[in-house]
Amino acid sequence: MKYEEIGEQIFDILDLSEASRKEKLKALSFVLYEYFDLRLLSKLVENDVEPMLDKQLLEECYYGEGNEEAGHIPLKTVLKGIEEIINSDDYLDDDIEFNCFVRPMTEEERQENGYSDYVEWWTRDDKLDINKLYIGFQNK
């Protein structure tokens, strides 16, 4: 059986059902997880989340002149899509937001704060602003 025929059968089942969109998405999510073991995808479907993280996102980000095979995109735009994916999972009650950069503390910083040398301590890196950084990309 070709995938088109299977797809048509699925459409027929969905069309016959009087369930709401939300209920149908939950049913599709169940199939994706239980039959195909696609947990992350099932969560995206169940929660009706479609993060804008595909090549279409980059369409407006290519350079117009010079190296037309490359471009750049705001880091925060990419991180927002990742946040949507992570937050679609209800494993944890709280949602996350990427909001800063961190770095390991220097030995001097650990000593100033009275922290142990046996643990790697992290601190916010205020030199970098997550909202003002861009990621470059290039076609392979």
DSSP helix/strand/coil, 62: strand
Bridge partners of 72, per DSSP, are: 136
Q: Token match 């503390």: residue?
A: 105
pLDDT digits (tens, 9 = 90+) for 2-44: 999 999 999 999 888 889 999 999 999 999 999 999 999 999 9
- Give per-residue pLDDT as tens, 60-83: 899 988 888 999 999 999 999 999
Distance CA 115, CA 8 (A): 62
Distance CA 47, CA 74 (A): 26
What is the mean predicted confidence (pLDDT) over 97-106? 95
User: Using CA atoms in the order 50, 53, 58, 60, what is the torsion angle rounded to 10 degrees?
Assistant: 30
